[in-house]
Every structure is written in C-alpha cells, then in structure tokens.
C-alpha cells in the first residue's frame, strides 16, 4: 500500500471514529513541525502562529526527534536493551522507536503508549514490526502509570531491563509532583538495569517562548508546561544519571560536530539507569 493510500485509509477511520478536525491537535501540529503530512489546515495555522512568536519551536521539535534516535540506538547498541516502552508516542514519522531498535536488534520488542485515538489509528496502520520482534500499542494515560505497566506486560517481560522513553510529552502532566510520581511509578515497575530517557523542557525559557506557549495553550490544544533544568532533574530522582547528565539535546553524546552555532534554546535531554 502506498503512503497516499495509508493517508486516505487513516482519514476514513478518523471520520468513522468521530475525530474532530476543526480543532488543532498537538500531535498533528508536532507532525507539521517535523515536516510530516498527517495534519490539516487548522493544525498548520496553529503551528504557524506559534512559529511567528517563537521560530525556534521547529528546532526544538527536530532536536527532540534526533535525540530519540540517538537514545534508542545507544540503549540497543551500547547497553544491549531489547525492550522499549515509548510513552506518549505521538504520530508516526521517520525513525520511530521500533525502526531504530530493530535495525540494531531485529528481535527487539516495542510498546507504544498513547491515550489519543487519533495517534492509535495512525500507529496501527503505519507501524509494523520485523518478523522476529514485536510492535504493540497500549491505549493509556500518563496519569495512570499502573495501566501503562499492565498493558506493557502483555508484550514486554518486565522482569528484564526496559528502555522507558518520554520525548516531549511530560509537559502534558502540569503538576511537578504528579509528573515525578508518574515516572517513579513506571520505573518502580521495571527491572534493575532498565533505563529512562527524557527530552523535554528548555535550557532557557525566553519571553518569546513563554508567550508562544501561552497563545498555544489558549488556542484549544491541550496545555503544555515547559519545565526548567531543575524541574527536569527531579524526574530522574533515585536513578543513576549517565554522562553527560542533563544537557541541551545537541550536547548529549553528539554524533557529529556541526560548524553552525547551536540554537540558543534547546530541549533538555538525559538518560539514567535503574540500579540493581
């Protein structure tokens, strides 16, 4: 089936599921910023409005995606992890978690988690596993980490190490204590040797970024909290942070050295290990 066929198949399923295309949707806006085509005029308008106030959001979206690729490759290749739990996956695009992991280890098992029927529709159509591995989907909310663990356990062996990822999604849990509790609950349910990878927040929250986010939050999309470095660091409490710690995305084990100056504002990234 061609990508155009996939798109129209998904569009038909969206209509059947009663998904409202008249309201901007965070997953589709993010998809637009990443150069994807699974978005609609209302999403592009909301995305363009954000960019007008804070053009750096496109770099943030792409840096987060690049960190996902590097972190999964690091966990699969260097650490040897063969199971991944991707929470708040968003719409599929290039180099999805299972694609990166299964290029290194075809038998890797990946569970995607989202509470959005739109995302799940796209995932079921577009995300397919290698024959040796497994790619499954769990409909669950980040506010209910126990449901995530129970759903993941149908595919993953939670007595063995798992790579848990949150890529630009924890801001949907606005309360700092609740966000930290969600991460801690999930890590408590995973085996020693499991790793946590997060990309979120910003190294600097400028007035332009804050204003763009305020306008975005008031425009009908689900609000998002941009956390500072100290707030991101709390999400790793009780875990062993791996070098280089919590740093701007481009500084986390960069693969190449760019001759261009880095963006002034970047998401923060880090990976930590559960001791055992």
Q: To the nearest whole number, what is the mean pLDDT of the chain?
A: 90
- How far is Cα 18 from Cα 91, in angstroms, rounded to an integer? 18
User: 118-122 long-range contacts, Cβ below 8 Å, gap at least 24?
Assistant: 118/14, 118/17, 118/19, 118/25, 118/27, 118/28, 118/91, 119/27, 119/89, 119/90, 119/91, 121/10, 121/13, 121/14, 121/17, 121/19, 122/10, 122/38, 122/91, 122/92
Per-residue pLDDT at 70 exceeds 80: yes
Q: Using 50, 70 and 90 to split pLDDT, how confident is the model at 15? A: low
Distances in whole angstroms, Cα of residue 173 to Cα of each of 177, 178, 204 = 9, 7, 20
How is residue 199 written in tokens? Answer: 């990309």
Per-residue pLDDT at 110 exceeds 70: yes
Instruction: Look at residue 9 in the predicted model and tell me its pLDDT.
Output: 55
Per-residue pLDDT at 8 exceeds 50: no
Per-residue pLDDT at 24 exceeds 60: yes
From 38-52, 148-162, 235-249, the region with the lowest mean pLDDT: 38-52
Half-sphere exposure of 246 (CA within 13 A, CB side): 24
- How far is Cα 86 from Cα 97, in angstroms, rounded to an integer? 7
Pairing of strands 247-248, 268-273: antiparallel
- Domain residue ranges of the chain, discontinuous segments joined by +: 3-273
Per-residue pLDDT at 84 exceeds 50: yes
Per-residue pLDDT at 261 exceeds 80: no
**CATH number listed for the domain at residues 3-273:** 3.40.50.150
CB 169, CB 88: distance < 8 Å: yes
Strands (E), the chain: 83-87, 109-114, 134-139, 163-167, 195-200, 240-241, 247-248, 268-273
Nearest Cα to Cα of residue 64 among 267, 254, 212, 263: 267
Q: Is 39 helix (H, G, I), strand (E, B) or coil?
A: coil
How is residue 9 written in tokens? Answer: 């198949």
Instruction: Look at residue 1 in the predicted model and tell me its pLDDT.
Output: 44
H-helix or E-strand spanning residue 209: helix 207-218
CB 50, CB 24: distance < 8 Å: no
* More confident site: 127 or 203: 203
Per-residue pLDDT at 32 exceeds 50: yes
Percent of the chain scoring above 70 in pLDDT: 91
Stretch 74-86: mean pLDDT? 99
Per-residue pLDDT at 25 exceeds 90: no
Percent of the chain scoring above 90 in pLDDT: 72
Instruction: Look at residue 117 in the predicted model and tell me its pLDDT.
Output: 79
The contacts of residue 222 (CB under 8 Å, 6+ apart) are: 26, 172
Stretch 132-149: mean pLDDT? 95
Instruction: Look at residue 276 in the predicted model and tell me its pLDDT.
Output: 83
Give the residue carrying structure tokens 């506010």. Answer: 143
Instruction: Look at residue 175 in the predicted model and tell me its pLDDT.
Output: 95
How do the residues of the chain divide into helix, strand and coil, expressed in percent and rounded to 5? 45, 15, 40
100: burial class by Cβ within 10 Å (0-12, 13-18, 19+)? buried
Q: Using 50, 70 and 90 to split pLDDT, how confident is the model at 125? A: confident
Region label for 245, one of left (φ > 0), alpha (ψ between -120 and 50) or beta (otherwise): left
pLDDT in tens, 143-200: 999 999 999 999 999 999 999 999 999 999 999 999 999 999 999 999 999 999 999 9
Q: Using 50, 70 and 90 to split pLDDT, how confident is the model at 12? A: low
Q: Using 50, 70 and 90 to split pLDDT, how confident is the model at 10? A: low
From 43-47, 93-97, 239-243, 272-276, the region with the lowest mean pLDDT: 93-97
């Amino acid at each position: 089936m061609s990508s155009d066929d996939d798109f129209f198949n998904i569009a038909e399923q969206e209509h059947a599921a009663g998904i409202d295309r008249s309201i901007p949707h965070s997953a589709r806006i993010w998809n637009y910023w990443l150069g994807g085509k699974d978005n609609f005029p209302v999403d592009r308008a909301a995305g363009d409005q954000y960019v007008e106030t804070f053009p750096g959001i496109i770099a943030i979206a792409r840096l987060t995606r690049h960190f996902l690729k590097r972190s999964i490759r690091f966990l699969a290749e260097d650490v040897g992890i063969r199971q991944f739990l991707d929470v708040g996956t968003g719409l599929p695009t290039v180099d999805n978690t299972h694609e990166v992991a299964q290029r290194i280890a075809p038998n890797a098992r990946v569970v995607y988690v989202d509470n959005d029927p739109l995302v799940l529709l796209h995932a079921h159509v577009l995300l397919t596993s290698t024959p040796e591995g497994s790619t499954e989907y769990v409909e669950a909310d980040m506010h209910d980490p126990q449901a995530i663990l129970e759903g993941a356990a149908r595919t993953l062996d939670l007595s063995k190490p798992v790579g848990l990822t949150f890529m630009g999604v924890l801001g949907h849990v606005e309360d700092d204590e609740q966000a930290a509790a969600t991460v801690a609950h999930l890590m408590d349910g995973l085996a020693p040797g499991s790793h946590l990878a997060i990309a979120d927040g910003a190294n600097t929250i400028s007035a332009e970024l804050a204003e763009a986010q305020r306008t975005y939050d008031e425009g009908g999309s689900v609000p998002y909290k941009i956390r500072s470095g100290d707030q991101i660091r709390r999400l790793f409490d009780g875990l062993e942070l791996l070098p280089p710690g919590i740093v701007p995305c481009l500084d986390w084990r960069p693969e190449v050295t760019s001759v261009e100056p880095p963006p002034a504002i970047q998401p923060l990234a880090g990976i930590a290990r559960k001791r055992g």
